Chain A
Amino acid sequence: MSESRIHHPLIELTISRVKETIREPEAMFWVFVFPVLLALALGIAFRERPPDKIPIAVDRRMKDADRVAKMISKSAQLKALIVGPADLNQYLRVGKVALVISRSPEAVPLKSGKAENFPGGTGPEFFLIYDAARSESQLARLAVNDALQSGNGRMDVIALQDRLVKEPGSRYIDFLIPGLIAMNLMGSGMWGVGFGIVFARTRKLLKRLAASPMRRSHYLLAYMLSRLIFLVGEVAGLIGFAWLVFGVKVHGSLIELAILSVMGSMTFAGLGLLVAARATTIETVSGWMNFIMLPMYLLSGSFFPYSRFPTFLQPFIRALPLTALTDTMRAIINQGTPLFHNWLELLVMIAWGTISFSVALKIFRWQ
């Protein structure tokens, strides 16, 4: 068997790193599948439905109950149920209907049992029975009035046309997807780099490599480079999924989104490197990872806006790298803002990345 040409050590190290990662099915799941499942679950849980039609009860004893029900159903906001006298009271009380239309003022008696003479006739006279304290019932009162008036021949004197508008990226899923991408870049960057290095250290593989003429910076760079390769799948996967399933659009430039993703990924790879620089057990590094990532999961606004936190916390929250990445990600994806409008956030990320990478290089323990 012949072998292909052996590449530069940096390339060989990166290839090895990539192979090791993709041969770890669990890691692949957490990096690629889990975020998509999370997006799916949250997207479905918080999806927006058109407002439900308000249910209206039409007293079955009216001779023209069917006709009245038809008039009501013409309204875009209402739906009619034809209900017998035995159930009217119950339906109104539990809110199954918002309002009862009848020709008897006592169709819904407060005290039942009293035999009642139901008025005949089909004239243009109705009683609307409802609880004025319920806003839905108030709304129903207006819509029922309109429906009955126009159903009985009222002509509108002016023409009104509805025109509904929607801010781009205003749904929860639009808010969520950039947050999830940022969070995933943090998680996979820190775990991918930090874990791999500490694992190699506990197995004395780092020591073995240090005994070879391999440049130490190549080893660390290979971790960063392999992150870039996975990054494409991570970001494109989530963006593509959100677009196909939820119609989430990227309003800004895709190239700028790519640049931002690389910057974010490098920032967190640097942090991961720093956390792993001296740890000699998996437990230590896991502890530090959680210590660093947990506040960001909570504060950086991945799932809800961080503006809900008290004012004095805001400067601290905005200095976190995940906040910077999430905010810039949202600006590009949801608002279509040019990348450099968020220069402050970019600076925050660059600062975290370069400082942690250079400190990590200084204090790195090879044995």
Chain B
Amino acid sequence: MTDSAQKISAGGTNFQPVLKCLAVKKYYGAVKAVDGVDLEVLKGECFGLLGPNGAGKTTLVEMLEGLTKPDRGRVEVLGYQWGSGDDRAFRERISVQLQETQLADKLTVAETIRLFRSFYHRGHSVDEVIAKTGLGEKRTERVMKLSGGTKQKLALACALVSDPELLFLDEPTTGLDPQARNHIWEIVEEFKSRQGTILLTTHYMEEAARLCDRVAIMDRGKILALDRPASLVEKWVGKEVIEFSAEEAVDGESLKKLPGVKDAEQRNGLFILKAYRADQALPALIAEMEKKRIKLTRLTSRPATLEDVFMTLTGGKLKNE
């Protein structure tokens, strides 16, 4: 192990940044894939990059993983900068699950994990990881025969087999059904419970909300907001979102002045009230509409989510599928 590696494990406060990136940029021709990103991920935290397709999440993560060189800026992983002579020692301590990797079709689950285990000096046994990821029944199945969810579990198993300090997960549940997604979440939560640090990208706000201690909302290569999920929602949307449509035009400014309402907007004929308190805003809205003799259709109220934060920040949707 190297000097810098020892420094970190020895000097261990929980707030030590395990991952750091400063003014990082990566352009592909005219496409500003990552356009000046700063962030720090602390030890033991699960950090989420939330953004739609093409936001630059993969590009950013692969720069952190040392697979892509940034055009500008500085990346540090466990206090180390990629390419300064000790890459393999640091690759022993991190693990990655890439967005698009397809593992060898003809190998079995156990053979694949075993191969990855052989690359590391230390780590779990193949059996331990198979048990941890619930792949027991599939251990002698060839990769080509696995369902999407099981393949993703296997990718996770290959990443976990080295017992990494830092785990990168690039859209680990994209395209999976809810049950498979839940399985993956449980595996990630188990890793988290043992003080593992995670950097995760996703375009599912439920995933970010459930797994992540802090979330950076990313769009077009930039980070638009960064905080705990609840704080982000609180700051940008409030607590509740009231949506309604009406038979006649409604004055937006008057809606914003209703008690308990933080903000109001109109989108595709739908009125959206962002409210701190639905118990105040709802009766006030109904009273206001009655006063103006405007008939309400489709009135709903629901808790605000990260999706609403994203909408507020970009005017667009997270999922474009």
Which residues does A use to contact B, with CB under 8 Å? 1-3, 6-9, 11-13, 16, 19-20, 23-24, 200, 203-205, 207-208, 210-215, 367
Contact = CB atoms under 8 A, between A and B. Distances in A.
A207 B67 contact: yes
B119 A213 contact: yes
A212 B111 contact: no
B127 A2 contact: yes
Contacts of A204: 98, 100-102
A203 B102 contact: yes
Given A1-B139, A8-B118, A12-B115, 20 more contacts: A2-B127, A3-B114, A3-B127, A6-B114, A6-B126, A7-B118, A13-B118, A19-B106, A19-B107, A19-B111, A203-B101, A207-B98, A207-B101, A208-B101, A210-B67, A212-B120, A213-B88, A213-B89, A213-B120, A215-B88
Given A2-B127, A6-B117, A12-B118, A211 B65 contact: yes
8 contacts: A3-B127, A12-B115, A20-B106, A204-B101, A205-B103, A207-B101, A212-B116, A213-B89
B96 A211 contact: yes
Nearest to B121: A213
B195 interface: no
B125 interface: yes
Contacts of B118: 6-9, 11-13
Contacts of B127: 1-3
B91 interface: yes
Interface size class of B (residues with CB under 8 A): 20 to 34
Contacts of A3: 110, 114, 125-127
Nearest to B130: A1
A205 B114 CA distance: 16
A1 B131 CA distance: 11
Interface of B: 65-68, 88-89, 91-92, 95-96, 98, 100-104, 106-107, 110-111, 114-120, 125-127, 139, 142, 162
Contact of A12 (B65, B95, B106, B114): B114
Contact of A16 (B66, B88, B96, B111): B111
Contacts of B107: 16, 19-20
Contacts of A210: 67
Contacts of A213: 88-89, 91-92, 119-120
Nearest to A202: B102
B319 to A, nearest CB: 23
Nearest to B118: A12
A13 B91 contact: no
A204 B67 CA distance: 12
A2 B125 CA distance: 10
A119 B306 CA distance: 121
A207 B98 CA distance: 8
